[in-house]
Structure 1
Amino acid sequence: MTILITGGTGKTGLALARLLHAANYNVLIATRKGVAPEPFKAVTFDWSDHSTFESPFKADAHIDRVYLIAPTVMEPLVDMKPFIDLAITKGVKRFVLVTATQAEKGGPIYGKVHEYLVEIGVDYAVLRPTWFIENFGSYAYSIRENNEIVSVTKNGRIPLIGVDDIAQAAFDALVAEKSPNTDYYVIGPELWSYDEVAAAFTEILGRKITHRHITHEEQVAIFKMWLPADYAVLLAMSEATIADGAEEAIVGDPKAIVGKVKLRDYIEANKKLWTKE
């Protein structure tokens, strides 16, 4: 048995690879550059280049489970369906797909991929994580240089989730003897508003960090710095639902997997990210 990890050098992919390796599972990492850190084997794979879809199966004929990280496009099923179909012909028996809390089955973007996995009758699990704690590391510049966090979340609260907890949920879904064949929310153990997050940064970093409330248009402009324009609009809209309590409402849901990683621990362990040299 070999487990293929798409997006294998991304936040959750690499964390998952390490868990699987530690448990002595064979792992193959798929990335656009075809490289991965030791001790992992990697192959070139690009959702936008269908000629790369055969590469994993040429590298390892024993792939039977796949971790799916969708491309950041508005219609990911267009690229993912051909690969999923090919993978099944190559002997893949189970897929674990990562979407998002607000991505309902059959809904736009990731929801269509979720729906397809259900329709074709394969073993599957869909993990729907909330907003990542590690995003504060990805957006470190604003905190480090401007002493601020910006968002459209107002006073909405989020059960912020750690990457390691998502990786653990994926590990469990991939290696379970019986396939889950359902979807799960993946959330953290604590609720945070961004005002509260800023206060935690202030205390731990020892300088004032503020949460600046911005408009939808301003948030779209920020996201467009590294995302396609239409996807940036959608992500800003998704963030705005936090203000309406969409993420807080998930807490206590019977299909929620609750992780262990806490925001304050993450900040303490990574203070250098937000500290000027």
Structure 2
Amino acid sequence: MPTTSAPAERPMTPTGTTSVTGTTLVIGATGTTGGRTTARLIAAGHRVRAAGRRATPLPGAEPVRFDWYDPTTFGDALDGVDRAYLVPPIGDPDPAAAMMPFLRQARAAGVRRAVLLSSSAISEGGPAVGAVHQALPGLFDQWAVLRPSWFMQNFTGAHAHADSIRTDGVIRTAAGTGRIGFVDADDIAAVAVQALTNDRAPNTDLVLTGPEALSHDDIATIVTRVTGRPVVHHHLTYEDMRDRLAAVIPPEFAALLAGMDRAIAEGAEDRTTDTVQRLTGRPPNPFRAVAERELRPAHRAPQAP
């Protein structure tokens, strides 16, 4: 299946950020995209409340304890906040049950803009966070849903793929030879900051990809070249993938993730978009550059000139 463009989104151009005077709540502020979004907001001079279950101190941010499953943490997190970056609870097949009470309280507390992290594989009204996506425009006049493709950091950071690369030199999926427009978490954060702080809210969903669609075989080849350590892609069946995941996560969520792999094999994620370029004014980072940045120092010294 040839790479195709995603459906056109509402045209936007980088407009620079407004002089935000309130506070931005970042939920999941120590996570893959939340940490990067927090750092970018602080660097741009915005006030940030960094929310997480441990209220981890972050330079330049105000830490606050927050737990999706503990409504007693909602009030302190929302005090004085006028916009929020929402990272859903990880591994919950029905995040709307935990998120909707918070979102209603956020609206009542004066939050004007909400930016939700979703997935390119989950459409409005779809499973899991798709229900929150569907509800968001009815709650906030200013909103955006970020729908990134699979993270490049899945192969470089704290993820099962990265772990299996480090320990076994293997990537295991049921995605076959299907291709994905893997996206750098740095690019997701750059778009998140634009969506949170631009004068005009996107008021739409934004599908985020990198500059090229790659298979997991391609990823294995690039990681091998960058690190100098052999890495291969093991092709699993849907059933094998589901059962492996079900050993460590709830069965219904395991089935959902394995089903996403099967959809990739069928070409569902074989696309690239220009969203990062349009909203940030620069092209998205290719996987080779991210691998060079995040893998080479850990495995191999740079080659001598």
Deviations 1:161-207 (A, max 9, x none): 00000001110000011111111101101211111111112222223
**What does residue 191 of structure 2 align with?**
169
Pair 1:180 & 2:202 matched: yes
Count of residue pairs the alignment pairs up? 270
Paired letter, 1:81: M
Do structure 1's residue 74 and structure 2's residue 93 form an aligned pair? yes
- Which residue of structure 1 lines up, in the alignment, with residue 150 of structure 2? 131
SS in 1 for 2:110: coil
Aligned-pair identity (%): 35
Question: Are residue 106 (structure 1) and residue 125 (structure 2) matched?
Answer: yes
Which runs of structure 2 are paired with 1:179-218 in the superposition (5 Å)? 179-218=201-240
SS in 1 for 2:24: strand
Regions of 4+ moved over 6 Å: none
In the aligned structure 2, how far is the partner of 1:124 from the partner of 1:224?
A: 34
Which residue of 2 is the match for residue 30 of structure 1? 51
| Correspondent of 1:63 among 77, 81, 106 | 81
Structure 1 unpaired stretches of 5+: none
State the AA in 2 paired with 1:263: F
Query: In the alignment, which of 243, 246, 270 is matched to residue 294 of structure 2?
Result: 270
Distance in 1 (alpha carbons) for counterparts of 2:195 and 2:221: 36
TM-score normalized with structure 1 length: 0.91
Distance in 2 separating the partners of 1:221 and 1:36: 38
CA distance in 2, matches of 1:164, 1:110: 22
The 10-residue stretch of structure 1 (127-136 or 47-56) with the greater mean CA deviation from structure 2: 47-56
Corresponding residue for 2:106?
87
Provide the C-alpha distance between the structure 2 equivalents of 1:272 and 1:180, rounded to a whole number of angstroms.
36
Check whether the contact 1:144–1:275 (CA below 8 A) recurs between aligned residues.
Answer: no
TM-score, normalised relative to structure 2: 0.83
Question: Cα distance, 1:265 vs. partner?
Answer: 1.6
In 2, Cα distance between the equivalents of 1:41 and 1:27?
6
How far did 1:107 drift?
1.6
Q: Deviations over 1:140-160 (max 9, x none)?
A: 231122111111111111111
CA distance in 2, matches of 1:147, 1:273: 17
RMSD: 1.9
List runs of 5+ in structure 2 lacking aligned partners: 1-21, 278-282, 301-305
Q: Tell me if 1:140 matches 2:162.
A: yes
Deviation at 1:9, TM superposition (A): 0.8
Structure 1 residues 23 and 53 mapped into 2: Cα distance closer, same or farther (>3 Å)?
same
For 1:95-143, what per-residue CA distance to the aligned partner results, in whole angstroms no more than 9, with x for missing partners? 0001111211112211110111123353110000000000012232311
